Structure 1
C-alpha cells in the first residue's frame, strides 16, 4: 500500500505591519472585502492535499485572528515570535509536538492571493527535492548605483522568490533548530545552508506581497462580475432527491447523469458565467462516464476554485428552487450551510429561496424541479 505523505501549512501572521502604518496590523486589514489573512487561509484550508493549517500570530492578536477566520474550518493558532524566523521556529515546534507532518508549506499572510496551481506544483516538487519555492524571473533591467547609475546587472538566472515555500518537514525543522547565522531572508536559504536542494516552480503575479500603504490602494476599488444559471431535472420514482448538497426526504428524486442536484448545477453555471469560463457541460460533459452519479459538490467546488485562481472573491450567491413539493423551507438552513462549506465562504454570502408556479407547468404538475441562481464576484 502506498502511504500518502501528510502535508500541513503554516501561515505567518504575527507581524505588526509597521511599514503599512495605521492601527491595525496589515494581516487583519480588509483586502477585497475581507481580512487579508482570510484569503490565504481559505486557499490552504480548502486544498485537498493539506490536512491542517497552523497560523502564527502575535501576542494579543487572538481576537483579531479569530474574527478574521470566522466561519472557516478551525485554525490551529500558535504564538509567534519577535522575528519571522522565530515565528517559523515556534510554529514548527508546535507542529512537531502534534507529530503528524511529513511536509509543510510556509506562507506569508502578506501574500493573500494564492492560486491552487502553485500549491499543486510545490507539493509535486517535493517528490524530487526536500525544498521548493515559487519564483518569477526578473524581467526589468537591473543596475547598481546611488544618485547615478554605475553598473548594469545581468538579470539572467535571477528570480523573485515568493511564498508559500514547501519543505520536507524534518529537514526544515532541523535547519531552524541548528541555525546560528544572521537573520535569513527566507526559509529556503536555511535549507540550502545545510546542503538541501530547493526546486523552483512557476510563481504568480497574484502572489505579490503587500508591504506599503500604497499596496492597499488598488485593493479598495472593486469591479464586479455577475453570472446567471438555470437548470431543470425530471422527478422520477426510486431516486434520491439532492438539493444544494442536502438529501431531501421525498417520494421521488431527480434524474440526471450525475446526482442531478439541480440547484448546485444552476449555481455552478452562474459562477462559470461570472468568470466567463463556459458552462457546466464544457467542464463535465454528460457523455463522459466518469461523471455518472457524481456528487455535484465536485462541480461547484471546481468552479469556485477557477474563480479564486483568476483573482475573484465571492460577494454573494442567490439560489431559487422552483417546485410545488417538497417544501424547501425546513431545509433552507442546511442548504445554506452546505453550500458555504463547499464554496469555502461565509454563510452570510449564501441565499437559498424557493417559489412555486401556482400549479402551472411541469413544476406545478410535479414532473420536475427547476432552479435558477445568480453569483456576484469582486475583483480588485
Structure 2
C-alpha cells in the first residue's frame, strides 16, 4: 500500500488538499486526512507543495516507429518506455503510420505486450494509414472483438497526398465495422483519422456523417492544429458534435509553415466555446515529422516525442492561461472518455492508480505511479528499458 499525503489533488477537477491511498493497482481512498493508515506496512510519500494529477493518456503514439518519407534510412525508432514515464504518460494508444508494409500489426501488438510488462498501459488501433487495411484476423471487426488490446481503427489518412484517397462509401464501411465491433465488445470502436493539409480538410468526414447512419462521434480526427484554416474547419466540426485532437510534436520549420502549437490551438478552441470533453492533445510520438515544399518534395524530417505532451499542457497553462483543470482534462479525462478507457483519466476511488506528482509552480513532473508502482522518483525513471 502507498499513502500520498498533503497533495493538491486535481482529478482533473480541483479537490483541494487531500491524501490518496493506493492498494495494489487501484486508488482505494481519497480523504482530507488518511493518517490513520500510517504504519510500517504502508509506504508514505509527503507531497506537500506538489500537485497530484491523473497519469497522462497519449491517444496516438507510433510505439514501433514509423516509415520515414526520406527512404529506408529515415525509418523512425521504436518508443522507449523511459520517455513516456519521464513525461508523466502512463497510458498510450499505439498505431501504425505511413508504413504498414515493413511495420506490421503483429509487431505493434508484440511491442504493446512488452511495454505492458514494464508497467505502461497500452492499447492499439488495428488497420492502418491506408485502404484496404491490414488486420491480424483478416477482419478489422474480428480484431477489435477478439484481441483485447485493439480498441478501434487507425490512423486512417484523409486530405493527404500520402493517403489512399478513400471514397465516402469506403470510409463509411470501415467506420461501420469498427462501430459494430465496439458495440459487441464493449469498446470504443473509434476511427482515428489522420488529417493532412490538402484543401478538402474534414469534408470527407462530414459527407460520411451526412450520407450514412454513422454518428459524428465515431471519428477521432487528429493533427487539427496543422494550419489556421484546418483549425477553423475543426472548430466548426466540433460545433456539430465532433471531437478534435491537437498534435503536440512539431518543429520550428513546421510552425513557420503555418502549424499552430497544440497548446495555443487548445486555448483557441476553448475560447470558441468548445467543451473540453471534445478536445484532446496527443504526441504523435515516434512518428516521422516531414516538411514538404509546395511540390510535395521532402525538405526536412524529424521524430515526434512523447514528452511533448506534458510540455504542451504546461504551455497551455503558463503561456496561454488555460485553467489547469481544463489543460489536464485534455490529456487525461477527455481522451480516456472518448476511447472508453473506463479505469483511466481520473483520480477517483476504484480507478487505476496512474498518478503524477507535479511541482506546484513549474508543473514539472517529479514522480509518477503507473498501476500503483512508482516508476519515476525525484525526476528519475526507476524502470529501465531492456538493452538501454
Q: TM-score w.r.t. structure 1 length? A: 0.28
Q: TM-score w.r.t. structure 2 length? A: 0.28
